[in-house]
A = this chain, B = another copy of it.
Amino acid sequence: MTEGWDFQVTMDNTYIVIMAGGSGTRFWPLSREAMPKQLLRIDGEETLIQQTIARVRPLIPTDHIHIVTNKSQADQIRYQVPELNRNNFIIEPAAKNTAAAIGLAAVYLNHHNADSVMGILPADHVVKNKEAFLDTMKCAFTAAREGYLITIGIKPVRPETGYGYIHAGEPLNPSTGIFYVDRFTEKPDIDTAKKYVADGRYFWNSGMFVWKTSVIISEIERHMPSLGAGLKEIRSAIGSSDESSVISRVFAGLESVSIDYGIMEKSDKVVVIQADLGWSDVGSWTALDDISPRDARGNVIAGNVVDVESRDSIIYASNRLVATAGLNDMVVVDTEDATLVCHKDRAQDVKKIVDELKKRGAEEHLTHRTVIRPWGSYTLLEKGDRYKIKRIEVNPGARLSFQMHYHRSEHWVVVSGTAKVRRGEEEFFVNPNESTYIPMETKHRLENPGRIPLQIIEVQNGEYLEEDDIVRFDDAYGRE
Closest approach, in angstroms, between the C-beta of A392 and any C-beta of chain B?
Answer: 12
Interface of A is mostly: strand
Closest approach, in angstroms, between the C-beta of A460 and any C-beta of chain B?
Answer: 9
Given the known interface contacts A350-B325, A435-B435, the answer about A306 and B415 at a Cβ–Cβ threshold of 8 Å is no
Query: Which of B343, B387, B437 meets A416, CB within 8 Å?
Result: B387
A391 and B330 alpha carbons, distance in the complex (Å):
36
Within 8 A of B (CB), among A37-58: none
Closest approach, in angstroms, between the C-beta of A210 and any C-beta of chain B?
Answer: 38
A183 and B352 alpha carbons, distance in the complex (Å):
55
Q: Mark A306-338, 1 if CB is under 8 A from B, else 0.
A: 101100000000001111111110101010011
A330 and B343 alpha carbons, distance in the complex (Å):
10
A385 touches B416 (CB 8 A): yes
Within 8 A of B (CB), among A2-43: 28-29
Closest approach, in angstroms, between the C-beta of A110 and any C-beta of chain B?
Answer: 45
Given the known interface contacts A415-B384, A416-B386, the answer about A320 and B339 at a Cβ–Cβ threshold of 8 Å is yes
Is A208 located at the chain interface by the 8 A CB criterion? Answer: no
A329 and B320 alpha carbons, distance in the complex (Å):
24
A385 and B386 alpha carbons, distance in the complex (Å):
28
A320 touches B338 (CB 8 A): yes
B337 touches A321 (CB 8 A): yes
Given the known interface contacts A387-B416, A432-B461, the answer about A341 and B353 at a Cβ–Cβ threshold of 8 Å is no
- For A356, the chain B residues whose CB sits under 8 A away are 306, 308
- For A382, the chain B residues whose CB sits under 8 A away are 381, 391
Nearest B-chain residue to A364, judged by Cβ: B321
A411 and B411 alpha carbons, distance in the complex (Å):
10
Is A123 located at the chain interface by the 8 A CB criterion? Answer: no
Is A345 located at the chain interface by the 8 A CB criterion? Answer: yes
A29 and B324 alpha carbons, distance in the complex (Å):
12
A435 and B433 alpha carbons, distance in the complex (Å):
13
Nearest B-chain residue to A345, judged by Cβ: B326
- For A415, the chain B residues whose CB sits under 8 A away are 384, 386-387, 459, 461
B326 touches A339 (CB 8 A): no
- For A353, the chain B residues whose CB sits under 8 A away are 306, 308, 323, 325
Query: Which of B330, B413, B455 meets A411, CB within 8 Å?
Result: B413
Closest approach, in angstroms, between the C-beta of A330 and any C-beta of chain B?
Answer: 7
- For A327, the chain B residues whose CB sits under 8 A away are 341-343
- For A360, the chain B residues whose CB sits under 8 A away are 306
- For A459, the chain B residues whose CB sits under 8 A away are 413, 415, 435, 457
A387 and B416 alpha carbons, distance in the complex (Å):
9
A325 touches B342 (CB 8 A): yes
Nearest B-chain residue to A384, judged by Cβ: B415
Smallest CB-CB A-B distances: 5 pairs: A326-B346, A325-B342, A387-B415, A325-B349, A321-B338
Q: What are 8 A-B pairs at a CB distance below 8 A?
A: A306-B353, A320-B338, A323-B341, A325-B353, A327-B341, A389-B391, A415-B461, A433-B461
